[in-house]
Structure 1
Amino acid sequence: MTVLAAVIALVGSLFFALGAALQQFEAAGSAKPGLLALLRKPRWLLGGASILTGGGLHIVALGLGPLTIVQPMGVASLLFALPITATLHGRKPSPKELAAAGVVAGGLVGLVLLVPDSEGPTYLSPNGVLTLLGVAGVAAVLLWAASRVASPAGRAALLATSSGVLYGATATLMRVLLDGTWNWWYVLALPVPLLLALVMLQRAYAVGHFGVSFASLQIADPLTAVAFGALLLGEPVPTGVLPVAAALLTAAGTVALARTSPLESRNNPPTHSPL
């Protein structure tokens, strides 16, 4: 069953990567990458369906195998997404680009495996939910504001990080809904960070540096969820030298991606802008 779980999780990562690549291709080619405009594009919708399929397969894999096997398979979506996106844009990914993505993936696997398992049901008070949404919202706005004065690669990273923070808040609230005590209005609050995260991510994709934006999303989402789990749910966090080393590895890989990932927006002339 463990092998089957790993295979299903790997296939799920492929679907997630394909969906992200399709959505980035449409967002990068849209003069107005707003959510309403993108919803009218069949290829963007197909990407959304692919992402949902990948997420569903990941849930199935978690039901069949241990977290320590399934979660690292999810990181493979970064390595799948780069060649798919490059093909859509009519190029081949460079060895340096793939190597940088490998460094990010290695660091992420380390971080995922080092996060301690949580025990017991989760509980978040109404004030805690407001704190969760408020902190995530402020962080997302600050990252969005900083992106407006950043280089193209920096803008892609900051917007995707903003999206990752909002997705991390969404994941935390979803865990409370599935595993804890909650009020009915928690359900009404759930779409707020989710929709904002989707909007921020499409803006990041529209910039054109897909490798940077996708890597930043992959890093920010789980780290934000871990941080909120520790601060609001009292869950344990990884300690010691190894988590720091894994975090530095992901950061170094992301910077390398910013320097090697080309500008793939069809609305702008191709340029190389370091982070």
Structure 2
Amino acid sequence: MTLLAAVIALVGSLFFALGAALQQFEAAGAPGVRGLLGLLRRPRWLAGGASILAGGGLHIVALGFGPLTVVQPMGVASLLFALPIAATLHGRRPTRAELGSAAMVAAGLVGLVLLVPESDEPAVLGPPGVLTLLGVAGVAAALLWGASRVASPAGRAALLATSSGVLYGATATLMRVLVDGGWNWWYLLALPAPALLALAMLQRAYAVGHFGVSFASLQIADPLTAVAFGALLLGEPLPTGLAPVAAAALTAAGTIALARTTPLEARP
């Protein structure tokens, strides 16, 4: 059953990678398209969204067959799948430097995922905590967006995607609280705001053109934000020792290398 869970999660990662690559292809340099509303009218972008939803659904199914420690690392494989798919859509082959840098990011992320201690306590957060969650995520996302306006193209893609990842991490934390603590209608109303902002910010990152670095930054920021909020607001344990530091350093080094090697992915 564990092997089945790993296979299902791996297929889910492939769907997630395909969806991200399709959405980036539409967002990067598409003539006459401005903002999220414009992309919503493009069939290929919508197909990418459907593929991402299918990937997420498969990961949920995989969790029914195997432990989180098996399923989560399989999700990291989406980065390794996404680069060749995106390169093919843009009519080229991924370089060895790209794939090597992506492998570094993936290895570091797997290490971080496996090192985070599991918590059996229910995720409970009162209204002040929810407001703190949304406020901190909003301020962090705004600061990252502001910094992106004066950054290089690759840096802009990374900062915008990180901003999106912070908002997605806040959304994931809020969803956990909603599921574990009961379906509070007030929390349910608060959920769409960070999710939609995250989606819009991610499309801005994709539109810059450096798909590899933007997708890697998203893959890093989303889970790390959820872990940080879990520790700060829910009292969940954090990993200790030198191992998580080494994994984080490997992830950072891979992202920097990817930013230096990833070419501009924009349609002529």
Q: TM-score, normalised by structure 1?
A: 0.96
Q: Note the residue ranges of structure 2 that are not aligned, 5 or more in a row.
A: none
Q: Structure 1 residues 244, 33: closer, same or farther in 2, change over 3 A?
A: farther
Alignment partners' CA distance in 2, 1:33 and 1:166: 21
Range with bigger deviation, 31-40 or 162-171: 31-40
Contact preservation (8 Å) 2:90, 2:266: no
Which amino acid is the alignment partner of residue 11 of structure 1? V
Alignment partners' CA distance in 2, 1:182 and 1:114: 30
Other-structure match for 1:262: 263
Other-structure match for 1:25: 25
Which amino acid is the alignment partner of residue 80 of structure 2? L
| SS class of match (1:64) | coil
How far apart are 1:136 and its partner, in Å? 0.1
Which amino acid is the alignment partner of residue 187 of structure 1? L
Alignment partners' CA distance in 2, 1:28 and 1:50: 18
Contact preservation (8 Å) 1:123, 1:182: no
Query: Counterparts in 2 of 1:235-250, with a 5 A limit?
Result: 235-250=236-251
Instruction: Please state if 1:109 is matched with 2:128.
Output: no
Alignment partners' CA distance in 1, 2:34 and 2:171: 22
Range with bigger deviation, 115-124 or 137-146: 115-124
Which amino acid is the alignment partner of residue 30 of structure 1? A
Query: Which deviations, in whole Å up to 9, do the C-alpha atoms of 1:49-74 show, x marking residues without a partner?
Result: 00000000000001110111111100
Q: Note the residue ranges of structure 1 that are not aligned, 5 or more in a row.
A: 268-275
Alignment partners' CA distance in 2, 1:112 and 1:19: 23
Other-structure match for 2:253: 252
Other-structure match for 1:209: 210
Other-structure match for 2:200: 199
How far apart are 1:182 and its partner, in Å? 5.9
How far apart are 1:30 and its partner, in Å? 2.3
Other-structure match for 1:127: 128
Instruction: Please state if 1:190 is matched with 2:191.
Output: yes
Alignment partners' CA distance in 2, 1:161 and 1:33: 21
Contact preservation (8 Å) 2:111, 2:244: yes
Alignment size in residue pairs? 267
Other-structure match for 1:219: 220
Contact preservation (8 Å) 1:108, 1:219: yes
Other-structure match for 2:149: 148
Off by >4 Å, runs of 4+ in structure 1: none
Q: Structure 1 residues 167, 158: closer, same or farther in 2, change over 3 A?
A: same
Q: Percent identity?
A: 84
Q: TM-score, normalised by structure 2?
A: 0.98
Other-structure match for 1:273: none
Other-structure match for 2:174: 173
Alignment partners' CA distance in 1, 2:75 and 2:34: 27
